[in-house]
Amino acid sequence: MEIERINEHTVKFYISYNDLEDRGFDREEIWYNRDKSEELFWEMMDEVHDEEEFSVEGPLWIQVQALDKGLEVIVTRAQLSKDGQKLELPIPEDKKYSQEAEQLNSLLNDLDNEEKPDEIENEETKLQFVLKFADFEDLVSLAKHQFSGCKTTLYSLENTYYLYIDFEQLSDHEVEDQLSLFLEFGSESNATIHRLEEYGTLITAEHALHTIKKHFS
């Protein structure tokens, strides 16, 4: 796989169909199977992170172009606007993709955020994050704090706890403040809610922190 760092927020990589099949993926299946396209994407992103130290933080804009012998993928992290008031994602209007590439673009851009980039408003935003915790005691400590405007769901997978956080009706500034507090106790994870729902064990739904505080504090 070939990787090119474009700038601080954007990375481009190319994977041939032969490489894709060597990794155990069917080149036809990835166009329409959400789980397979998600698995392939995060496998590639792990390599990108190792080589370029490109971390995945917040919403992503993912562009996929099908070439004759492989896929070209461009990933851009959302960034704050110049006035610091909202998150911005690039939305290219002049790109032409095949039907298959359009389908894969749609699947991948649903991984972290069901909302489309052009639906992000100036004052309020809806964002989802997944944090991981190696120790349950860290979750107990986190639950002692007050949070509003978000739903929290707790999963376990491979001896690790994952907290899915769904922020609703909060300004970007409020999301940043609350997320910074979450990150004092947990760390960012590349796991998606789809993977957790399929392979993880649901421990507490929607009001996880409230439930933990009620029973363990």
Predicted local distance difference test score (pLDDT) of residue 124:
40
Name the band, by pLDDT with cuts 50, 70 and 90, for residue 1.
Answer: confident
Look at residue 83 in the predicted model and tell me its pLDDT.
53
Contacts of 45 (CB under 8 A, 6+ apart): 54, 56, 75, 190
Mean pLDDT of 115-134: 59
- CB contact burial 141-155 (16+ within 10 A = b; e otherwise): bbbeeebeebbbbbb
Burial letters 46-71, b for 16+ CB under 10 A, else e: eebeeeeebebebbbbbbbbbeeebb
Which of 41, 46, 43, 55 has the alpha carbon at shortest distance from 8? 55
Average pLDDT over residues 60-68: 79
* Cβ(166)–Cβ(148) below 8 Å: no
What's residue 133's pLDDT?
A: 92
Residues 132, 195 contacting (CB under 8 angstroms) = no
Domain ranges of the chain: 2-113, 125-216
pLDDT above 90 as % of the chain: 13
The CATH code that applies to domain 125-216 is 3.30.70.1950
Q: How confident is the model at residue 91 (pLDDT cuts 50, 70, 90)?
A: very low
C-alpha closest to that of 195 among 151, 153, 157: 157
| pLDDT tens profile 21-33 | 888 888 777 777 7
State the chain's mean pLDDT as an integer.
Answer: 76
CB 30 within 8 A of CB 40: yes
What is the per-residue pLDDT for 131?
A: 92
pLDDT band for position 122 (cuts 50, 70, 90)? very low
The residue ranking higher by pLDDT, 30 or 131, is 131
Cα–chain-centroid distance for residue 51? 19
